[in-house]
Structure 1
Amino acid sequence: MEKLLENKTFVIAGAGGLLGSRLVPALLKQGANVVALDRDLEVMQKKLHATYEGFKEQISFVELDITNEESVKYFFSQQSSLDGAVNTAYPRNKTYGKDFFDVSLSSFNENLSLHLGSAFLFTQQCAAYFKANRTPFSLVNISSIYGVVAPKFDIYDNTSMTMPVEYAAIKSAIQHINKYVVAYVNDSRFRINCVSPGGIFDSQPESFLLAYKKNTHGAGMLDVDEVIGSILFFLSEQSRYVTGQNIIVDDGFSL
Structure 2
Amino acid sequence: MERLLENKTILIAGAGGLLGSRLVPKIIAQGGKVIAADINIKAMTERLVSLGVDVHNENLIFIELDIMKEKNVSELFLNYTDIDGAVNSTYPRNKKYGAHFFDVSLESFNENLSLHLGSAFLFTQQCASYFKKHENPLSLVNISSIYGVVAPKFEIYDNTPMTMPVEYAAIKAAIQHLNKYTVAYINDSRFRINCVSPGGIFDNQPEAFLEAYKKKTHGAGMLDVEEVIGSVLFLLSEQSRYVTGQNIIVDDGFSL
Shorter-chain TM-score category? over 0.9
Q: Where in structure 2 are the equivalents of 1:196-211 lying within 5 Å?
A: 196-211=197-212
Aligned to 1:21: 21
Counterpart CA distance in 1 for 2:134 and 2:2 is 27
* Identical pairs, percent: 73
Aligned to 1:35: 35
Post-superposition offset of 1:78: 1.3
Counterpart CA distance in 1 for 2:52 and 2:190 is 31
State the AA in 1 paired with 2:217. Answer: T
State the AA in 2 paired with 1:104. Answer: S
Instruction: Tell me the number of residue pairs that the alignment of Structure 1 and Structure 2 aligns.
Output: 255
State the AA in 1 paired with 2:45. Answer: Q
Cα-to-partner distance string for 1:210-249 (whole Å, 9 max, x where unaligned): 0000000000000000000000000000000000000000
Counterpart CA distance in 2 for 1:23 and 1:179 is 24
Unaligned runs of 5+ in 2: none
Counterpart CA distance in 2 for 1:54 and 1:82 is 20
Post-superposition offset of 1:2: 2.1
Cα-to-partner distance string for 1:90-133 (whole Å, 9 max, x where unaligned): 00000000000000000000000000000000000000000000
Cα-to-partner distance string for 1:170-208 (whole Å, 9 max, x where unaligned): 000000000000000000000000000000000000000
Q: Where in structure 2 are the equivalents of 1:63-212 lying within 5 Å?
A: 63-212=64-213
Secondary structure of 1:7 counterpart: coil
Counterpart CA distance in 2 for 1:66 and 1:80 is 19
State the AA in 2 paired with 1:44. Answer: M
Post-superposition offset of 1:76: 0.7
C-alpha contact (below 8 Å) 1:52/1:59 kept by paired residues: no
Aligned to 1:4: 4
C-alpha contact (below 8 Å) 1:28/1:55 kept by paired residues: no
Counterpart CA distance in 2 for 1:227 and 1:52 is 19
Aligned to 1:47: 47
C-alpha contact (below 8 Å) 1:198/1:253 kept by paired residues: yes
State the AA in 2 paired with 1:176. Answer: H
Q: Specify whether residues 90 and 142 from structure 1 end up closer, same or farther in structure 2 by C-alpha distance, changes over 3 A only.
A: same
Secondary structure of 1:53 counterpart: coil
State the AA in 2 paired with 1:15. Answer: A
Counterpart CA distance in 2 for 1:68 and 1:121 is 9
C-alpha contact (below 8 Å) 1:36/1:61 kept by paired residues: yes
Unaligned runs of 5+ in 1: none
Post-superposition offset of 1:51: 3.5
Counterpart CA distance in 1 for 2:56 and 2:25 is 9
Cα-to-partner distance string for 1:20-64 (whole Å, 9 max, x where unaligned): 010111101101000000000100011112543286110000011
C-alpha contact (below 8 Å) 2:45/2:55 kept by paired residues: no
C-alpha contact (below 8 Å) 2:48/2:55 kept by paired residues: no
State the AA in 2 paired with 1:34. Answer: V
Counterpart CA distance in 2 for 1:242 and 1:55 is 34
Q: What is the TM-score when the length of structure 2 is the normalising length?
A: 0.98
